[in-house]
Structure 1
């Protein structure tokens, strides 16, 4: 757990010597880099980085809530990979990403593609109105992805801005100047004992995760998920 920056609590400094702004800035960079790593893993379709990324997320989800469903999903996925035979494990990892456009760096998460497909189908179902039959729903949603593609091409031909979660334009140079001056004056990465971060009353240098309790809760989750699960590795050895 210490390799991820989580331990029983940071006791190296007294409470009055903590720098909340420094801690907040370091955490922001840490998780920002991790999110970039997740995005790069998806685009490259790198199956070797899937499990390390999920292991990194486990303490994060646990620090939010020990009942987090995302925590259970991470443990469940890792457990299935580790308990499966080598061939099945490769199939599970390779099925994590899909490439619909071809080329390098165009992979996306398979579940994300499925969610988009469901959203497109719901839009067509909603357009049918009330008193719709099952046959009408099947007929309308059969070409949901094709209809969406036609709409996107039509919007592109009319120069309609595409909705995207990414920035479509570069950051204004004036805003960049203000940010640089603010960072230069505050020095967020220079440790200053006793400095406060007013929007966040308590910002710990590390997420307070009690490792002993985390291991106990993880064991409960693993025992529940592995109940009745067949070890593919031992089963394969018995066949040989």
Structure 2
């Protein structure tokens, strides 16, 4: 019995001896999917992803200033490219892990119509968006309003969140009747999880290609490399799609 217990202990140790941790900077729009991906990643590999979510623009500044992140899941493809040029990303490690979609959303049923025409009615006091200077979804929201010829009209009604998570919070609590949010925040398995929304046509703004990258601080961390490989698996892609992203 003692020999069996010892053998079991050795096998358990062998299975976890090479497990590690990886520090991950994740765009706010991807926080929900990443929570589930991190759990699956730990189950399947033994490695643990330590996740911080926030605005891509702020992560850019933090990484340049020496933040200990080892992997970045950006809300765009431009930021990782700039970081690579500046020597903060391992050359050739970047790839698009998801393409996001912008949604005009209300926490209440029947408020947002299929064409987003509610924006023209004026029957709302506040419209939340993410900071367009630091959050790609915020920039996409401004581009959409400009494309519709409504930006100047609705600008006095805009309430700006620091990132897309805060823009969603304003809308979800009713502090803003409408909000431009990430589809992933309000969508699961082919339908809105609550409220009403309009999926903004991709032609209204530049594509929201979201790139992953191995940061220089993670170059020698097997857990960091494993996470990027995990994101390319069919299992991970299926989960990402379930949140409304294109893969």
**TM-score over 0.5 (shorter chain):** no
TM-score of the pair, normalised by structure 1: 0.25
More strand, by proportion: 2
Bigger Rg, structure 1 or 2? 1
More helix, by proportion: 1
**Structure with more relative contact order (C-alpha pairs < 8 Å, separation 6 or more):** 1
